[in-house]
Structure 1
């Protein structure tokens, strides 16, 4: 009897899996009728999220962020540069988003992923336009030296909502960032000083000790799928592949709108869907702010 039940259950699972592969949209729409998703989440709920600071020991700031299976590793390296004549009192931030073949079956070796430059541009626009970082904070000596912050984000697992996870990892990495000690050498050049040599400087350091970068605000995002009359928060890669209309809302920690991004899909006929997405994002920002604060607290305790 037990063997018969096991065989029946296995056959049923195979039928469901076959239906899901052959008719993915119909499969998901059957769940939508019951206001639930295949992974048992309510439509407006994001996946479980975790954050770890200091994931890369050799970086000046780093973080590992996971939203469901989507995983991002962010690392920041600081270098001294000569500022531009247009902005003599400002540093610079360079952001690169990488999608190696290990992150997804659709990313082929030797071919750059189509999504990578799009996410890179979104991240740069969001971080710079949000006012999160005052570039004057990266200045060392006016007109002579400033910091160049290289932020590299590596997608280790691409299972949907890539921008949301990438932005979370970037914000966390900047929250973890410690700006190194620098000094003027005999030639008048600004050089980075190691921790061992910091106490042996003949000339006074430009900044005497490592310091945290002051963040004016932080920004978080939530990507939603708009399908018929339904709104699905934090979609998986499967959901993104079968439902066309995506919308990403970015809010800062004061819930002010930073940006709204909608690539392709039909034109929305009403503003209620946008308002609903913003409301879901407000709730998500509270969750992510709490997760970030807990990660910072854990780092300070360690």
Structure 2
């Protein structure tokens, strides 16, 4: 039986209609968005309170001590943690430390120019470090090797592979996932007292091992975030870059695994009502539960792959 084909006239009419919609979307982006919001739907067919599909893949970088690849809709982040032995600061001789850097290479967005770092990158770097430390997720004493002599410095680098909105949310998920995957390597002390990491033949080293086995970090309350775009009476969870280019007001809420508020940050726009802020907090707590499930599932998948 011959397959039915769309008549040429109907196909041309449909194509013209699609081109007209896209032209209207480009020429009048705010009006286009508001037409959708009037029907309680987003241009990408999501509900206003609905976040985009999220995936977490642990161990994406084999050369790192901990790594993760995260996709939040079309936003993609690659996080890696590398550990180096350092001398602890005199004021906290039993603590390690972390250094966070968020990178936005030109491939991630047409708005990022080669040779010119994105203005938002250092802002996100600082915000990530503040949240990771203030949440209590990381215990710096857990990074101590030899009291007063040696500790770990954890370099966290996050690379934005594709920027399609909610960059801080995706970056924080990838950072948490990378530290979840992190495995602290074996270290030894040489004859000169220098502490160094042991390679693949750790069982045959002639030097005494400081730590007898590789171990995971003990993580405290884990932070998760949700950014909401506020436009008139509408609250849009997890905005895309298109929505961010139109809407001026954003609220980012960070809650930990016990649903305690770690931070609330509002960017741009006019004064926001407490009712809207409370709604953002409620959405963030709901999102936290879903992200926790996604992270737990990714850990289970990794453990299954390791046993096969």
Residue 274 of structure 2 aligns with which residue? 271
Q: Secondary structure at the match of 2:16?
A: helix
Q: Secondary structure at the match of 1:59?
A: coil
Cα shift readout 1:218-242 (whole Å, capped 9, x = no counterpart) = 1110000010000000000010011
Q: Displacement of 1:204 after TM fit?
A: 2.8
Q: Distance in 1 between matches of 2:56 and 2:105?
A: 21
Q: Displacement of 1:31 after TM fit?
A: 0.1
Kindly indicate whether residue 298 of structure 2 is the aligned counterpart of residue 295 of structure 1: yes
Q: Secondary structure at the match of 1:267?
A: coil
Q: Secondary structure at the match of 2:299?
A: helix
Q: TM-score, normalised by structure 1?
A: 0.98
Q: TM-score, normalised by structure 2?
A: 0.96
Q: Distance in 2 between matches of 1:38 and 1:102?
A: 25
Q: Distance in 2 between matches of 1:43 and 1:203?
A: 59
Cα shift readout 1:131-183 (whole Å, capped 9, x = no counterpart) = 10000000011111000000000000000000000000000000000001001
> Which of the residues 227, 234, 240 maps onto 1:236?
240
Cα shift readout 1:84-118 (whole Å, capped 9, x = no counterpart) = 00110000000000000000000000101011011
Q: Distance in 2 between matches of 1:11 and 1:187?
A: 76
Structure 1, unmatched stretches of 5+, are none
Q: Displacement of 1:202 after TM fit?
A: 3.3
Cα shift readout 1:185-232 (whole Å, capped 9, x = no counterpart) = 101121111131x11233431111111011012111000001000000
Q: Distance in 2 between matches of 1:234 and 1:199?
A: 48
Residue 224 of structure 2 aligns with which residue? 220
Aligned residue-pair number: 300
Q: Displacement of 1:251 after TM fit?
A: 0.4
Q: Distance in 2 between matches of 1:214 and 1:166?
A: 21
Cα shift readout 1:237-289 (whole Å, capped 9, x = no counterpart) = 01001100011000001100000011222111x21101100110111001100
Residue 265 of structure 2 aligns with which residue? 261
| Match runs of 1:83-162 below 5 Å | 83-162=88-167
> Which of the residues 10, 21, 35 maps onto 1:5?
10
Structure 2, unmatched stretches of 5+, are 1-5
Q: Where has structure 1 moved over 4 Å in runs of 4 or more? A: none
CA RMSD of aligned residues (A): 0.8
Q: Distance in 2 between matches of 1:33 and 1:199?
A: 66
Q: Distance in 2 between matches of 1:6 and 1:115?
A: 44
Q: Secondary structure at the match of 2:171?
A: helix
